[in-house]
A and B are shown apart, each in its own frame.
Chain A
C-alpha cells in the first residue's frame, strides 16, 4: 500500500537529478577565456609597426618600393626577433608600374622613351615600363596580360570581351583608353559598360579645364591629386594653381559625357558645357576605367607632347595602377594579422594600410 505524502526512493532520485541539472544549468559560472597569447602577439606586432614604419624610414620605404619583405628580412628576423611573419602594404603607388599597352610598336617605343627617367612620388622613385598586350576578344584572347594597368591607345571595336575587362578592373587594376570618341564610337557597348559614356554633344571649343578637386570622396580625385600635387619635374604653373587649361585637347566633332554625375566623373571638361575631355568610372575594389580624348594627336611623336600633357598622362597612369600589396610568396604565413594605417604626403596624399601577419 502506498502511503499518502510519502516520496518513494526512485522519485527522490529523479527529483535530485532534475534539481542538480537545473542548478548547474541556471547557476553555472559564465566565464570567457581570455586569449592572452593573441593579445600579446597583437601588441608586439603593433609595437613593430609603429616603431619601424613611424620612424625607421628604411623599412617602410623598402616595403613600399619593393612590395617585398626580402630586403630587410634579416633585420626583421634577427634584430626584431620575428622568425615567422609576412608583411605587405596596400594603397601605395608601386616602385615599378608595368603598363600592359595595346598600342603600336612605335607608340610603345615612344612611351618608353617619354618615361625613361623615373618619376618621383613622395620621394620614392617610380619606374614606368610599357609592354605590349592584346585587348581581350571572346574566343581569341580571353585574358589581359598581367600588368598594373591596361592602356589602349586608339578606339576599341565592338567585339571586346567586356566580362574579361570587368574582371580585370575588379581585380584592382585600371584601364585607360585614349580615343577620339565620336558618335559612332559611342554606340559600342564597351564605352557604355566600361567607361560609362552614353551621350554625345557637339563641342564648340577645343580648350578644356582641369580643376583641383573639392573632395577626396569622388573617383575623379585620384588622377587630379597626382596632376596638382605631384612635384614631378619639369614643373609648370599648373601645379600651383587651382585650375589649368589645355588647348587642342579635343578633336573636332562630338564628345561624350558620362552617364551620371558629370562633375564627379569628368577629369577635364569644356568650361560652361557638359562636354568631357576625360572621364573616370569606378568599379569598386580600387579599379578605375579612364577614357580620355587623344590629346597627342597634334604631335608627330609622343615625345613631343608638352610637360603638362605628359603630367596629365602620368596622372592617369598613377591613378589607374594596381596599388594592392601582396606578401612575397616565399614568406607568406597565416599568422595573426595586425593592421597599421597611415598617410604619406611629402607631395601627394597617399593613405596606406600595412598588414603584418605574425607568429610568436
Chain B
C-alpha cells in the first residue's frame, strides 16, 4: 500500500543546506560584478565579464540550489535514496563551488590559464552528481511524472555540460570550435530550457499543490509537457547540427513548440494558484507570479525579436537573459527555497528525540517562525525591484547598470541572511553534545 522507502538513509540536513547557503553568495558576486564593470557587463554577450556574470547566476546560484534540492527530494518525490549522500554531496558541492569560482575568475579577469582548471573541476563535479543521481533515478520505486522530469532534466544537464566543456577546451586552446555560436546556443538551450526549465516544471507538479493547497496539475499537462519539451529541444538541436539544406523555418518552429510548452505551464500554474482552496496569505506566491509573468514576457520578446525591431533585436540576448534567468528561474527557485528550507528545519527537528532538542521541554519551533513572512515580504519587494532595474539595464545598459548590480547584490544578500537565520535556528534548537 505504500512505496518501500528507507527514510533512515535520507540525507542529513547538511546535505541540501551546504548548497543553499553557498548559492546566494554567487548571486551577490554577480550583482557586484555588474556594479563594478557597469555597462561593459551588459553590452556584448561574448564579453568575458558577461560570461562571468551568466555563469555566476546559472552555475553558482541556480545549479547549486537545484543540485542540493534534487538530492534532498529524491527520497520524497522519486522514492529513491542517493547512494552515499554525504560523500556525494561533499564532492559535488566542493567541486562545483571551486569550479564556478575558477570559471568566473578566469572570465572576469581573462586568465585563460585558469579555464582548464575550471573545466576539470566542473566536469568532475557534474560527473559525480550525474552518476549518483542517475543511479538513484534508475532505482526509483516511484514512476511518477516528477521522476520522468528529473530524468529528462539530468540528461539535459549532461548535454549542457558536454557542450560547455567543449567550449572551455576551445577557449583554453585559443582555437575557436568550428561554429562557436551554434555550440553556445546548444549549451544554453539544454542548460536553461532543459536542465532548469524541465526540473522546475517537474518539481512544481508536487510543490505547488503541496505547499499552496491548489488542485493537482491536469493529467494532460503532466503527461505531455516534458516529453514535448524534450522532443522540441532534440529536434531543434538536430536541426542545428545536421540541418544544412533544410528549410530555415524548421528550427524556429521547434523552438516555438518549446516556448508554447513553457507558456502553457505558466498559464496553468497561475490558474491553479488563483483557484487555490484556502485563501490564506502566502508571500512566496509573489515570486511565482514574477516567474510566470517572466515566461510570458520572454516568449513575447522572443517572438518580436524575429520581426527585427531595432531595440528588441539588438538587446534581445540580454532582455531574454534577464527575463528567463532572473525573472523566471531565480524567482521560482527563491519561492521554492522559502518553502523547502523551513520545512526541512521543522522536519529534521521533528525527527530528533525530544532529549536531543534544546529549550522548552524539547518542543519543535512552529514552521512559520523559521523564516517570518515579514522578512520574505521585504525580500520580495527588493527582488521585484532588482528584476525591474535589471530589465531596464538590459535595454539601456549605459544608464542603469550600476543600479541593477547593486539591487541584485542586495536581493541575494537578503536571501542569504534569511536562509542563514533558518540554519541558525536549527542549530540553536539542537541540544549541544558535551
User: Do A and B interact?
Assistant: no
Write the residues of chain B forming the contact surface with A, with a CB cutoff of 8 angstroms: none
Write the residues of chain A forming the contact surface with B, with a CB cutoff of 8 angstroms: none
